[in-house]
């Protein structure tokens, strides 16, 4: 993402790992860098500018040919291939913010997923 404000920032990259109920990986085939305009890239927050420049994500996004709409279709196609609608929660590290971005920018993906979220960062906080 270009920052954490869903009203200002945008999705740069999306990856998807699908597991079964025992957390065995079923699919690890999706990692998409989304094209964003120079205007959007220039309006990234400072943390993202520094870190995405180091990793090369800014340049990858600039040169990507995949639009946000195409990326959404690709993610949805993968989900439909492996899981029934509304059966799989969004899970991962700090995915609470990701859910906001899916709601705004990838509504078809958001609707396909179960409404529950499994945020590993919550477990890490509890364990402190």
> What burial letters (b/e) apply to 102-124, b meaning 16+ CB within 10 Å?
beebbeebbebbeeeeebeeeee
The CA distance from 58 to 12, in Å, is 8
Whether 115 is a known active-site residue: answer yes
Where in the sequence numbering do the catalytic residues fall?
A: 115
């Amino acid at each position: 993402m270009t920052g954490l404000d869903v009203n200002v920032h945008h999705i740069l990259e999306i990856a998807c790992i699908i597991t079964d109920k025992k957390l065995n990986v079923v699919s690890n085939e999706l990692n998409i860098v989304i094209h964003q305009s120079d205007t959007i890239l220039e309006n990234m927050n400072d943390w993202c500018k520094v870190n995405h420049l180091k990793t090369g994500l800014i340049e990858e996004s600039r040169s990507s040919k995949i639009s946000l709409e195409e990326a959404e279709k690709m993610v949805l196609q993968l989900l439909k291939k492996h899981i029934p609608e509304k059966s799989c929660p969004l899970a991962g590290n700090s995915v609470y913010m990701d859910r906001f971005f899916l709601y705004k920018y990838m509504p078809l993906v958001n609707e396909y997923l179960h409404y529950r979220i499994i945020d590993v960062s919550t477990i890490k906080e509890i364990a402190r």
